[in-house]
């Protein structure tokens, strides 16, 4: 189990909802229940962001990506920070990537989703980025591919 998942485990085990529910706590500890292992794949050619648990697609979201002159960078990254209501064109939420100045964020222009419109970031509908941000923890792996 990775360090971030250990922290998630501690947070869950310390949750008051587990108090008094020894049976469920034991089932969780022996692996009958497990924490999801989320990762994100951004597919530039289909303009889709996919949320996966291990290798199973949980959800797909339409996205806007970088223009021909300011392309979204292909590579392996991770979510380094999160900020609600960053303001301006970043919409309802910002998730910064390990590549400085790039992130996954909402938009103040929903008509831009599905198009080549950003300066390299990944744009999502505000309701979608809020759902995604609520699910994925910091350090979630993000693969951006053609």
Binning the chain into helix, strand and coil, the percentages to the nearest 5 are 25, 35, 40
**142 in Cβ contact with 40 (< 8 Å):** yes
Q: Tell me the average pLDDT of the chain.
A: 88
Strand partners, 8: none
Helix (H, G, I), strand (E, B) or coil at 99: coil
Is 70 exceeded by the pLDDT of residue 2?
no
pLDDT the model gives residue 1: 39
- pTM confidence score: 0.79
Is 90 exceeded by the pLDDT of residue 47?
yes
Overall average pLDDT of the 68-88 stretch? 96
Q: Is 115 a catalytic residue?
A: no
Query: What DSSP state is assigned to residue 123?
Result: E
Is 50 exceeded by the pLDDT of residue 116?
yes
pLDDT the model gives residue 15: 60
Confidence of residue 58 (pLDDT cuts 50, 70, 90): very high
Among candidate residues 101, 115, 119, 121, the one labeled active-site is 121
Q: Is 121 a catalytic residue?
A: yes
Is 70 exceeded by the pLDDT of residue 7?
no
Among candidate residues 101, 105, 119, 139, the one labeled active-site is 105
Confidence of residue 118 (pLDDT cuts 50, 70, 90): very high
Is 50 exceeded by the pLDDT of residue 24?
yes
pLDDT the model gives residue 3: 42
């Amino acid at each position: 189990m990775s360090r971030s998942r250990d922290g998630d485990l501690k947070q869950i085990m310390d949750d008051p909802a587990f108090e008094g529910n020894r049976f469920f706590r034991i089932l969780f500890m022996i692996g009958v229940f497990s924490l999801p292992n989320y990762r994100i794949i951004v597919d530039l050619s289909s303009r889709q962001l996919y949320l996966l648990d291990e290798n199973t697609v949980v959800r797909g979201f339409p996205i806007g990506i970088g223009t021909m002159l300011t392309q979204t960078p292909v590579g392996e990254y991770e979510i380094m920070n999160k900020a609600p209501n960053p303001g301006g064109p970043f919409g309802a939420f910002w998730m910064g990537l390990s590549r400085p100045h790039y992130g996954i964020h909402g938009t103040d222009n929903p008509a831009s989703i599905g198009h080549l419109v950003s300066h390299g970031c990944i744009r999502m509908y505000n309701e979608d980025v809020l759902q995604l941000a609520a699910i994925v923890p910091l350090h979630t792996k993000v693969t951006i591919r053609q």
